[in-house]
Amino acid sequence: MKKITGFVSILFVMALFVATYANAADYIGAKKCKACHMKQYKSWSETTMAHSFDVLKAGEKVAEKKKAGLEDKDYTTDPKCLKCHTTGYGKGGFVSMEKTPDLAGVQCESCHGAGSEYSALMKKNKEFPLAEAKAAGLVIPSEDEKGCMSCHGGESPFVEKVDAKYKFDFKERLKKTHEHFPLKNKH
Ligand code: HEC
Ligand code: HEC
Ligand code: HEC
Ligand code: HEC
Protein backbone atom coordinates (compact mmCIF):
# COMPACT_ATOMS: atom_id res chain seq x y z
CA MET A 1 0.00 0.00 0.00
CA LYS A 2 2.76 2.39 1.02
CA LYS A 3 4.53 1.70 -2.26
CA ILE A 4 1.37 2.48 -4.27
CA THR A 5 0.79 5.77 -2.41
CA GLY A 6 4.41 6.68 -3.04
CA PHE A 7 4.06 5.90 -6.75
CA VAL A 8 0.82 7.85 -7.01
CA SER A 9 2.35 10.89 -5.35
CA ILE A 10 5.33 10.77 -7.71
CA LEU A 11 2.88 10.70 -10.64
CA PHE A 12 1.05 13.65 -9.11
CA VAL A 13 4.23 15.69 -8.78
CA MET A 14 5.16 14.81 -12.37
CA ALA A 15 1.74 15.86 -13.66
CA LEU A 16 2.03 19.13 -11.77
CA PHE A 17 5.48 19.73 -13.25
CA VAL A 18 4.23 19.08 -16.79
CA ALA A 19 1.19 21.31 -16.26
CA THR A 20 3.37 24.13 -14.96
CA TYR A 21 6.29 24.04 -17.37
CA ALA A 22 5.58 22.10 -20.54
CA ASN A 23 2.64 24.09 -21.85
CA ALA A 24 3.51 27.42 -20.34
CA ALA A 25 1.19 29.74 -22.28
CA ASP A 26 -1.99 29.52 -24.35
CA TYR A 27 -2.94 31.40 -27.52
CA ILE A 28 -5.62 33.98 -26.71
CA GLY A 29 -6.22 35.69 -30.08
CA ALA A 30 -5.75 39.23 -31.39
CA LYS A 31 -9.09 40.48 -30.03
CA LYS A 32 -7.70 40.14 -26.50
CA CYS A 33 -4.60 42.19 -27.37
CA LYS A 34 -6.81 44.75 -29.12
CA ALA A 35 -8.39 45.74 -25.81
CA CYS A 36 -5.08 47.32 -24.71
CA HIS A 37 -3.26 47.84 -28.04
CA MET A 38 -5.89 49.42 -30.28
CA LYS A 39 -3.40 51.34 -32.49
CA GLN A 40 -1.19 48.35 -33.27
CA TYR A 41 -4.29 46.22 -33.84
CA LYS A 42 -5.78 48.68 -36.29
CA SER A 43 -2.56 48.97 -38.25
CA TRP A 44 -2.01 45.18 -38.30
CA SER A 45 -5.58 44.55 -39.45
CA GLU A 46 -4.78 46.52 -42.62
CA THR A 47 -1.96 44.12 -43.58
CA THR A 48 -2.33 40.93 -45.62
CA MET A 49 -1.47 38.90 -42.50
CA ALA A 50 -4.85 39.66 -40.97
CA HIS A 51 -6.60 38.10 -43.96
CA SER A 52 -4.16 35.31 -44.72
CA PHE A 53 -6.71 32.58 -43.94
CA ASP A 54 -9.01 33.82 -46.70
CA VAL A 55 -6.42 33.34 -49.45
CA LEU A 56 -6.66 29.57 -48.80
CA LYS A 57 -10.20 29.54 -50.18
CA ALA A 58 -10.95 28.33 -53.70
CA GLY A 59 -11.18 31.18 -56.20
CA GLU A 60 -8.81 33.45 -54.22
CA LYS A 61 -5.43 34.50 -55.68
CA VAL A 62 -5.82 31.97 -58.50
CA ALA A 63 -3.03 33.46 -60.66
CA GLU A 64 -0.58 33.67 -57.73
CA LYS A 65 -1.30 30.07 -56.77
CA LYS A 66 -0.84 28.89 -60.35
CA LYS A 67 2.52 30.65 -60.59
CA ALA A 68 3.62 28.85 -57.38
CA GLY A 69 2.52 25.49 -58.80
CA LEU A 70 -0.72 25.19 -56.80
CA GLU A 71 -4.07 24.32 -58.37
CA ASP A 72 -7.21 26.31 -57.58
CA LYS A 73 -9.08 24.41 -54.84
CA ASP A 74 -10.12 24.74 -51.20
CA TYR A 75 -7.09 24.61 -48.87
CA THR A 76 -8.82 25.82 -45.69
CA THR A 77 -8.52 22.42 -43.98
CA ASP A 78 -5.11 21.45 -45.39
CA PRO A 79 -2.65 21.12 -42.45
CA LYS A 80 0.27 21.97 -44.76
CA CYS A 81 -1.15 25.42 -45.45
CA LEU A 82 -2.71 26.03 -42.01
CA LYS A 83 0.71 25.81 -40.38
CA CYS A 84 1.66 29.19 -41.87
CA HIS A 85 -1.71 30.86 -42.51
CA THR A 86 -3.10 30.64 -38.97
CA THR A 87 -1.86 31.34 -35.43
CA GLY A 88 -0.29 28.57 -33.34
CA TYR A 89 -1.35 25.68 -35.59
CA GLY A 90 -0.01 22.39 -34.16
CA LYS A 91 1.21 24.25 -31.06
CA GLY A 92 -2.03 24.45 -29.10
CA GLY A 93 -3.44 27.33 -31.17
CA PHE A 94 -5.60 27.17 -34.32
CA VAL A 95 -7.39 23.84 -34.87
CA SER A 96 -10.24 24.55 -37.29
CA MET A 97 -12.64 27.32 -38.27
CA GLU A 98 -15.38 25.59 -36.24
CA LYS A 99 -13.32 25.23 -33.04
CA THR A 100 -10.96 28.24 -33.06
CA PRO A 101 -12.22 30.96 -35.45
CA ASP A 102 -10.45 33.65 -33.38
CA LEU A 103 -7.03 32.24 -34.31
CA ALA A 104 -7.38 32.32 -38.11
CA GLY A 105 -4.76 34.35 -39.98
CA VAL A 106 -1.28 35.45 -38.95
CA GLN A 107 -1.98 37.32 -35.74
CA CYS A 108 -0.02 39.10 -32.99
CA GLU A 109 0.98 35.86 -31.32
CA SER A 110 2.61 34.48 -34.50
CA CYS A 111 5.34 37.08 -33.93
CA HIS A 112 5.03 37.92 -30.21
CA GLY A 113 4.49 34.39 -28.83
CA ALA A 114 1.49 32.76 -27.11
CA GLY A 115 0.03 35.47 -24.89
CA SER A 116 -1.96 34.12 -21.93
CA GLU A 117 0.88 34.56 -19.42
CA TYR A 118 2.51 37.81 -20.54
CA SER A 119 -0.82 39.55 -21.14
CA ALA A 120 -1.78 38.71 -17.54
CA LEU A 121 1.49 40.30 -16.43
CA MET A 122 0.85 43.40 -18.59
CA LYS A 123 -2.59 43.68 -17.04
CA LYS A 124 -1.27 43.44 -13.49
CA ASN A 125 1.63 45.89 -13.86
CA LYS A 126 1.94 48.49 -16.64
CA GLU A 127 5.62 48.92 -15.74
CA PHE A 128 6.40 45.21 -15.95
CA PRO A 129 10.12 44.49 -16.40
CA LEU A 130 10.72 43.32 -19.99
CA ALA A 131 12.75 40.34 -18.73
CA GLU A 132 9.68 39.11 -16.82
CA ALA A 133 7.47 39.43 -19.89
CA LYS A 134 10.02 37.49 -21.93
CA ALA A 135 10.15 34.79 -19.24
CA ALA A 136 6.36 34.61 -19.59
CA GLY A 137 6.72 33.98 -23.34
CA LEU A 138 6.83 37.45 -24.95
CA VAL A 139 8.93 37.50 -28.12
CA ILE A 140 10.50 40.74 -29.37
CA PRO A 141 10.32 40.08 -33.13
CA SER A 142 13.50 41.95 -34.11
CA GLU A 143 15.36 39.39 -31.96
CA ASP A 144 13.72 36.43 -33.68
CA GLU A 145 14.51 36.24 -37.40
CA LYS A 146 14.26 32.43 -37.15
CA GLY A 147 10.63 32.79 -36.04
CA CYS A 148 9.83 34.72 -39.24
CA MET A 149 11.71 32.22 -41.38
CA SER A 150 9.65 29.30 -40.07
CA CYS A 151 6.95 30.72 -42.38
CA HIS A 152 8.85 32.98 -44.82
CA GLY A 153 11.61 30.43 -45.47
CA GLY A 154 12.12 27.63 -47.97
CA GLU A 155 9.08 25.57 -46.92
CA SER A 156 6.71 28.24 -48.27
CA PRO A 157 5.46 27.89 -51.85
CA PHE A 158 5.76 31.70 -52.13
CA VAL A 159 9.48 32.43 -52.10
CA GLU A 160 11.86 34.63 -54.05
CA LYS A 161 12.53 32.10 -56.81
CA VAL A 162 8.80 32.11 -57.69
CA ASP A 163 8.55 35.92 -57.70
CA ALA A 164 11.03 38.57 -56.54
CA LYS A 165 8.23 40.24 -54.54
CA TYR A 166 8.36 37.37 -52.01
CA LYS A 167 11.98 38.08 -51.05
CA PHE A 168 12.26 38.28 -47.27
CA ASP A 169 14.51 41.13 -46.15
CA PHE A 170 14.27 40.92 -42.36
CA LYS A 171 15.06 44.60 -41.58
CA GLU A 172 12.71 45.93 -44.25
CA ARG A 173 9.88 43.57 -43.33
CA LEU A 174 10.09 44.41 -39.62
CA LYS A 175 8.96 47.93 -40.56
CA LYS A 176 5.84 46.67 -42.36
CA THR A 177 4.43 44.44 -39.60
CA HIS A 178 2.37 47.26 -38.08
CA GLU A 179 2.92 50.88 -37.24
CA HIS A 180 4.97 51.43 -34.09
CA PHE A 181 4.06 53.73 -31.24
CA PRO A 182 6.34 54.84 -28.39
CA LEU A 183 5.78 53.04 -25.08
CA LYS A 184 4.66 55.11 -22.10
CA ASN A 185 6.40 53.17 -19.35
CA LYS A 186 9.89 51.84 -18.62
CA HIS A 187 10.26 48.08 -19.03
C1 HEC B 1 2.80 31.77 -38.89
C2 HEC B 1 3.53 32.13 -40.10
C3 HEC B 1 4.19 33.47 -40.16
C4 HEC B 1 5.14 34.01 -39.30
C5 HEC B 1 5.71 33.39 -38.03
C6 HEC B 1 5.52 35.28 -39.86
N7 HEC B 1 4.81 35.53 -41.01
FE8 HEC B 1 4.87 37.24 -42.13
N9 HEC B 1 3.36 36.51 -43.31
C10 HEC B 1 2.85 35.23 -43.25
C11 HEC B 1 1.89 35.05 -44.32
C12 HEC B 1 1.10 33.78 -44.60
C13 HEC B 1 1.83 36.28 -45.02
C14 HEC B 1 1.05 36.62 -46.29
C15 HEC B 1 -0.41 36.67 -46.13
C16 HEC B 1 -1.11 36.83 -47.46
O17 HEC B 1 -0.53 37.30 -48.45
O18 HEC B 1 -2.28 36.49 -47.47
C19 HEC B 1 2.79 37.18 -44.35
C20 HEC B 1 3.01 38.50 -44.72
C21 HEC B 1 3.94 39.35 -44.12
C22 HEC B 1 4.14 40.72 -44.48
C23 HEC B 1 3.39 41.51 -45.56
C24 HEC B 1 2.32 42.38 -44.94
C25 HEC B 1 1.66 43.27 -45.97
O26 HEC B 1 0.45 43.57 -45.85
O27 HEC B 1 2.35 43.69 -46.91
C28 HEC B 1 5.15 41.19 -43.68
C29 HEC B 1 5.72 42.60 -43.67
C30 HEC B 1 5.58 40.09 -42.82
N31 HEC B 1 4.81 38.99 -43.11
C32 HEC B 1 6.61 40.18 -41.90
C33 HEC B 1 6.93 39.19 -40.99
C34 HEC B 1 7.98 39.29 -39.99
C35 HEC B 1 8.92 40.45 -39.83
C36 HEC B 1 7.93 38.14 -39.26
C37 HEC B 1 8.77 37.75 -38.07
C38 HEC B 1 8.89 38.75 -37.00
C39 HEC B 1 6.86 37.33 -39.80
N40 HEC B 1 6.29 37.98 -40.86
C41 HEC B 1 6.47 36.10 -39.29
C42 HEC B 1 3.17 34.27 -42.33
C43 HEC B 1 4.00 34.44 -41.24
C1 HEC C 1 6.09 27.50 -44.64
C2 HEC C 1 4.96 28.43 -44.61
C3 HEC C 1 3.91 28.42 -45.68
C4 HEC C 1 3.22 27.34 -46.16
C5 HEC C 1 3.43 25.87 -45.82
C6 HEC C 1 2.24 27.88 -47.06
N7 HEC C 1 2.33 29.24 -47.13
FE8 HEC C 1 1.18 30.47 -48.27
N9 HEC C 1 2.39 32.03 -47.77
C10 HEC C 1 3.40 31.98 -46.84
C11 HEC C 1 4.03 33.28 -46.75
C12 HEC C 1 5.17 33.65 -45.83
C13 HEC C 1 3.38 34.12 -47.68
C14 HEC C 1 3.68 35.58 -47.98
C15 HEC C 1 4.84 35.72 -48.92
C16 HEC C 1 5.22 37.15 -49.12
O17 HEC C 1 4.32 38.00 -49.19
O18 HEC C 1 6.42 37.43 -49.18
C19 HEC C 1 2.34 33.29 -48.29
C20 HEC C 1 1.45 33.76 -49.25
C21 HEC C 1 0.42 33.02 -49.79
C22 HEC C 1 -0.54 33.51 -50.76
C23 HEC C 1 -0.64 34.92 -51.30
C24 HEC C 1 0.31 35.14 -52.46
C25 HEC C 1 0.20 36.54 -53.05
O26 HEC C 1 1.04 36.90 -53.89
O27 HEC C 1 -0.73 37.29 -52.70
C28 HEC C 1 -1.38 32.47 -51.05
C29 HEC C 1 -2.56 32.48 -51.98
C30 HEC C 1 -0.94 31.32 -50.27
N31 HEC C 1 0.16 31.70 -49.53
C32 HEC C 1 -1.53 30.07 -50.30
C33 HEC C 1 -0.98 28.94 -49.70
C34 HEC C 1 -1.54 27.60 -49.87
C35 HEC C 1 -2.76 27.25 -50.67
C36 HEC C 1 -0.73 26.77 -49.14
C37 HEC C 1 -0.83 25.26 -48.98
C38 HEC C 1 -0.76 24.50 -50.22
C39 HEC C 1 0.32 27.60 -48.54
N40 HEC C 1 0.12 28.89 -48.90
C41 HEC C 1 1.32 27.09 -47.74
C42 HEC C 1 3.78 30.90 -46.08
C43 HEC C 1 3.35 29.61 -46.31
C1 HEC D 1 4.72 40.12 -38.34
C2 HEC D 1 5.14 40.27 -36.98
C3 HEC D 1 4.28 41.05 -36.03
C4 HEC D 1 2.94 40.88 -35.80
C5 HEC D 1 1.98 39.92 -36.48
C6 HEC D 1 2.59 41.78 -34.73
N7 HEC D 1 3.68 42.48 -34.32
FE8 HEC D 1 3.77 43.78 -32.75
N9 HEC D 1 5.70 44.19 -33.16
C10 HEC D 1 6.42 43.66 -34.22
C11 HEC D 1 7.71 44.34 -34.30
C12 HEC D 1 8.78 44.09 -35.33
C13 HEC D 1 7.74 45.28 -33.23
C14 HEC D 1 8.85 46.27 -32.84
C15 HEC D 1 9.69 45.69 -31.76
C16 HEC D 1 10.90 45.02 -32.34
O17 HEC D 1 11.77 45.76 -32.88
O18 HEC D 1 11.00 43.81 -32.33
C19 HEC D 1 6.46 45.15 -32.54
C20 HEC D 1 6.12 45.92 -31.44
C21 HEC D 1 4.91 45.87 -30.78
C22 HEC D 1 4.54 46.66 -29.61
C23 HEC D 1 5.44 47.69 -28.92
C24 HEC D 1 5.01 49.11 -29.32
C25 HEC D 1 5.11 49.40 -30.78
O26 HEC D 1 4.13 49.93 -31.34
O27 HEC D 1 6.14 49.11 -31.43
C28 HEC D 1 3.26 46.31 -29.28
C29 HEC D 1 2.44 46.87 -28.14
C30 HEC D 1 2.82 45.30 -30.23
N31 HEC D 1 3.84 45.06 -31.14
C32 HEC D 1 1.58 44.72 -30.25
C33 HEC D 1 1.10 43.92 -31.28
C34 HEC D 1 -0.29 43.50 -31.39
C35 HEC D 1 -1.38 43.85 -30.42
C36 HEC D 1 -0.37 42.73 -32.52
C37 HEC D 1 -1.59 42.11 -33.14
C38 HEC D 1 -2.75 42.97 -33.36
C39 HEC D 1 0.97 42.66 -33.10
N40 HEC D 1 1.81 43.41 -32.33
C41 HEC D 1 1.30 41.93 -34.24
C42 HEC D 1 6.02 42.63 -35.05
C43 HEC D 1 4.73 42.08 -35.10
C1 HEC E 1 -4.76 44.32 -20.06
C2 HEC E 1 -4.02 45.06 -21.07
C3 HEC E 1 -3.06 44.31 -21.97
C4 HEC E 1 -3.32 43.19 -22.74
C5 HEC E 1 -4.57 42.33 -22.79
C6 HEC E 1 -2.13 42.99 -23.55
N7 HEC E 1 -1.19 43.96 -23.26
FE8 HEC E 1 0.61 44.20 -24.16
N9 HEC E 1 1.04 45.76 -22.91
C10 HEC E 1 0.15 46.32 -22.01
C11 HEC E 1 0.77 47.46 -21.37
C12 HEC E 1 0.14 48.35 -20.32
C13 HEC E 1 2.06 47.57 -21.93
C14 HEC E 1 3.08 48.65 -21.65
C15 HEC E 1 2.67 49.85 -22.48
C16 HEC E 1 3.56 51.06 -22.31
O17 HEC E 1 4.50 51.03 -21.54
O18 HEC E 1 3.25 52.06 -22.98
C19 HEC E 1 2.19 46.49 -22.91
C20 HEC E 1 3.30 46.29 -23.71
C21 HEC E 1 3.38 45.37 -24.74
C22 HEC E 1 4.52 45.21 -25.63
C23 HEC E 1 5.82 45.99 -25.58
C24 HEC E 1 6.80 45.30 -24.68
C25 HEC E 1 8.11 46.06 -24.54
O26 HEC E 1 8.43 46.47 -23.43
O27 HEC E 1 8.80 46.24 -25.55
C28 HEC E 1 4.18 44.22 -26.53
C29 HEC E 1 5.04 43.70 -27.67
C30 HEC E 1 2.84 43.76 -26.20
N31 HEC E 1 2.40 44.48 -25.11
C32 HEC E 1 2.16 42.79 -26.89
C33 HEC E 1 0.92 42.28 -26.50
C34 HEC E 1 0.23 41.22 -27.20
C35 HEC E 1 0.73 40.55 -28.46
C36 HEC E 1 -0.93 40.98 -26.51
C37 HEC E 1 -1.98 39.92 -26.79
C38 HEC E 1 -1.48 38.53 -26.84
C39 HEC E 1 -0.96 41.90 -25.40
N40 HEC E 1 0.17 42.68 -25.43
C41 HEC E 1 -2.00 41.99 -24.48
C42 HEC E 1 -1.12 45.88 -21.74
C43 HEC E 1 -1.73 44.77 -22.30
What per-residue confidence (pLDDT) applies to 24? 74
Rounded distance from Cα 128 to ligand 4 centre (Å):
10
- 17 falls within a domain: no
* Rounded-to-integer distance, Cα 52 and Cα 184, Å: 31
- 100 falls within a domain: yes
State CA 18 to chain mean position distance. 22
Residue 50 confidence class, pLDDT cut points 50, 70, 90: very high
Q: How many independent structural domains does the chain possess?
A: 1
What per-residue confidence (pLDDT) applies to 66? 98
Tell me: the pLDDT tens digits for 135-181? 999 999 999 999 999 999 999 999 999 999 999 999 999 999 999 99
Tell me: the pLDDT tens digits for 99-120? 999 999 999 999 999 999 999 9
The pTM assigned to this predicted structure is: 0.93
Give the domain range for residue 87.
25-174
- 94 falls within a domain: yes
- 158 falls within a domain: yes
Q: Which residue has the higher pLDDT, 24 or 31?
A: 31
Residues with CB under 6 A from ligand 1: 47-49, 51-52, 55, 84-85, 106, 110-111, 141, 144, 147-148, 150-152, 173-174, 176-177
Whether 130 lines ligand 4, by a CB cut-off of 6 Å, is yes
> What are phi and psi for residue 57, nearest 5 degrees?
-75, 155
Is the pLDDT score of 75 beyond 90? yes
- 156 falls within a domain: yes
Residue 8 confidence class, pLDDT cut points 50, 70, 90: low
- 12 falls within a domain: no
- 166 falls within a domain: yes
What per-residue confidence (pLDDT) applies to 33? 98
- 120 falls within a domain: yes
In the beta sheet, which residues pair with residue 86? 104
- Ligand 1 pocket: which of 40, 44, 49, 103 to mutate (most atoms within 8 A of CB): 49
Per-position DSSP letters for the chain, written without gaps between them: -HHHHHHHHHHHHHHHHIIIIIT------HHHHHTT-HHHHHHHHTSGGGGTTGGGSTTSSHHHHHHTT--SS--TT-HHHHHHHBSSTTTTS---TTT-GGGBSS-HHHHH---HHHHHHHHH-TT--HHHHHHTT---GGG-HHHHHHHHSTTSSS-TTT-GGG---HHHHHTTSS-----SS--
Instruction: Please report, for the domain that includes residue 104, its CATH number.
Output: 1.10.1130.10
